Amino acid sequence: MDRIRRRIADIVAEFFASKAGPLARPLREATEGGKMFRPVLCAVGWHAVGGPPADDPALHLGASLELFHSFLLIHDDICDNADTRRGRPALHQALEAQYPGAGTGLAVVAGDLLACWHQELADRAPLAADQRLRTRGVLAGMRHEVVEGQYRELALTRQGPVEDLDEILAVARAKSGNYSVTWPLVLGATLATADPAAPAALHRFAVPLGEAFQLRDDLLGVFSEPEVSGKPVGDDLRDGKPTALLALAWRTADPDQRRVLRAHVGRQDATAAEIAECRAVLTALGVPDHVETMIDERYRLAVEALERSPVAGPARTTLHDLAAQLAYRDN
């Protein structure tokens, strides 16, 4: 894994070294320091279905996902009006400090350039013509689903309390589970083999796992200790993000509990004490346990799909470990 991560970082660094102009440095800095989660999963997908040991195509195409992800984060931070990203000022804030009044516009355009560079890096990946053709639809599907998911989440956030758990899970799949887990694995597998059964098997494994990953994210965003997760706890509540946690809570809360949630959820200036009140409501309603059960179910579905799949040997072990890691991580 470390070898893979280093190789991907090298490809990204080499790409940025080929770029000049006013945006080369800020976009490189915005991209560096990511976990390279999706590129690594692309390589995992390649190896899982028996892709050859020389995994250059998977690493190059995977590296292009890191640029795409960094582009998404730049625009996400604009949409969420976030102040920081990876411990530094968010790009629109940094640009606002430099060009007062134009930070948002400049960051929109900077993100656009990074999206173009994602495509350029994908185009430069050393693929055979048939690999190119096969993976094109996967990339298009991924981009469409995640960007539309982001749109649906933003629109949903404006609607006030959302009780529709199915709609929330659908948006979470689009924005997070499928984007972060399913598409990268399927991309690597599609690249490695012309046999459509292989990516289809990974797809059956990845979709429930992606949901478990997202549900864990929701739990950690509200209930983890900040010193463990590294994230400011409660921001999902302050943002009024439509999560499964909140949908479950709205469905069963009594009038007093509703009053607490209404008073604090979606308020950027909610205090730590007010967030703790909301947490207490969720706990009293049994929401964390309910979500843990949902994660268990999805983890089990993923493992069953893996066991019915043709993936065998060390690749199966890798995916098994991955499933446990994503579903039961504590940060």
30 versus 106: smaller Cβ distance to a second copy: 106
Q: How far is the CB of 236 from a second copy (least distance, A)?
A: 17
**3-state SS, residue 239:** helix
Which residues pair with residue 88 across a beta bridge? 85
Q: How far is the CB of 177 from a second copy (least distance, A)?
A: 18
Compute the least distance from the CB of residue 16 to a second copy, in Å: 13
Are 302 and 212 in contact by the 8 Å Cβ rule? The answer is yes
Q: Which is nearer to a second copy, 114 or 185 (CB)?
A: 114
Between CA 302 and CA 306 the distance in angstroms is 6
Of 142, 184, 178, 188, the residue nearest 49 (C-alpha): 188
Sign of dihedral through CA atoms 9, 217, 179, 188?
A: positive
> Please, what is the minimum distance in Å from the beta carbon of residue 284 to a second copy?
31
How near is the Cβ of 20 to a second copy at its closest, in Å? 10
Q: Among residues 87 and 100, whose Cβ is nearest to a second copy?
A: 100
| Closest CB to a second copy among residues 104, 193 | 104
Dig out the tokens for 246 from the structure: 């909140």
Q: What is the 3-state secondary structure (H, E, C) of 182-208?
A: HHHHHHHHHHHCCCCHHHHHHHHHHHH
Distance CA 124, CA 157 (A): 38
Give the separation between CA 196 and CA 286, rounded to whole angstroms. Answer: 42
Name the token pair of 3. 């070898």
Cβ 109 to a second copy shortest distance, Å: 5
State which residue, 112 or 163, has the beta carbon closest to a second copy: 112
Nearest CA among 140, 136, 181, 141 for reference residue 41:
181
Torsion of the alpha carbons at 168, 251, 296 and 223, rounded to the nearest 10: 90
The set of residues, in sequence order, having a beta carbon less than 8 Å from that of 245 and lying 6+ positions away, is 218, 219, 222, 282, 287, 288, 291
Nearer to a second copy, 122 or 326 (CB): 122
Query: Quick one: 160 or 230, whose CB is closer to a second copy?
Result: 160
Distance in angstroms (rounded) separating the CA atoms of residues 261 and 292: 21
Smallest gap, in angstroms, from Cβ of residue 113 to a second copy? 5
Show the tokens assigned to 301: 């579905």
Q: In which element (H, E) is residue 36 found?
A: none
Query: Closer CB to a second copy, residue 138 or residue 305?
Result: 138
- Tell me whether residue 115 or residue 303 sits nearer to a second copy (CB atom): 115
Q: By CB under 8 A, name the binding residues for a second copy.
A: 21-23, 75, 78-80, 99-102, 104-106, 108-113, 115-117, 119-120, 123, 129, 136, 140, 143-144, 147-148, 150-152, 154-155, 157-158
Give the shortest CB-91-to-a second copy separation in angstroms: 12
User: Could you tell me the smallest distance in angstroms from the CB atom of residue 120 to a second copy?
Assistant: 5
User: Which tokens belong to 262?
Assistant: 């209404």
